[in-house]
Amino acid sequence: MTSIGIIGAGGIGTALARRFATTDAEVLLANSRGSHTVQTPDDRVTAADITEAAKADIVVLAVPWNRLEAAVANSGIDDWSGKIVIDPTNPLSAPDFPPADLGGHVSSTQLVEKLVPGAEVVKAFGTLTPPDLGADPTAGGRRVVFISGDHPAANGTVARLASKAGWAPIDLGLLAIGGPLLHFPGGPLPTLRLRLER
């Protein structure tokens, strides 16, 4: 059984946990305050500490941009080889949400890759709001989610997971191509609410 560890129990993390619980995967949900404070959205989701969630086969970094480094540091993992890391983040920080300086990179996910050396990082699930992510993705046609990453096999794994959860995944290919399309703010795909008709 594939295990999915979601680090971040806010709107995005909780919505993804709710949807992933409908698949055959083991789903763990963690926050920075400990498993005893995690409110799981489904009884098939296990409350976990960050170190437990980070041991999963697939790790989702569903934390605010300015807390990414701390979340990774608290994972207890230095070498992420063999893991797929899903990046749904957008490079903005509360309360004023100024865009982060990407240092010339075309995608914020390229910066995330540097935080998790060895991991195969896939940009996904960052273009929809938490209510849209958590809702039934099959009502009125399957809701489209976009995927991009530099590791085709990892992209395929995330696409299959998304499909099992009810979404219609579209693989945009390499980050050099898909990254700018998914970038928020500025890219054309964030907040689009597209559905694939049956």
Q: Residue type at 197?
A: E
What the block records as the tokens of 129 is 């709001």
pLDDT (tens digit, 9 = 90+) per residue, 37-84? 999 999 999 999 999 999 999 999 999 988 999 999 999 999 999 999
pLDDT of 96 over the 70 cut: no
What the block records as the tokens of 157 is 């794994």
pLDDT at 135: 93
pLDDT of 13 over the 90 cut: yes
Looking at CATH, the fold of the domain delimited by 3-196 is given as: Rossmann fold (3.40.50)
Per DSSP, the three-state class of 13 is: helix
CA distance 169 to 193: 13
Q: How far is CA 29 from the centre of its chain?
A: 12
Q: Where are the domains of the chain?
A: 3-196
CA distance 59 to 72: 11
User: Which of 155, 164, 144 minimizes the C-alpha distance to 84?
Assistant: 155
Cis peptide before 180 (omega within 30 of 0): no
pLDDT at 101: 66
CA distance 108 to 75: 20
pLDDT (tens digit, 9 = 90+) per residue, 149-198? 999 999 999 999 999 999 999 999 999 999 999 988 878 898 888 998 76
In this structure, the chain runs to a length of 198
CA distance 171 to 156: 8
Beta-bridge mates of residue 46:
28
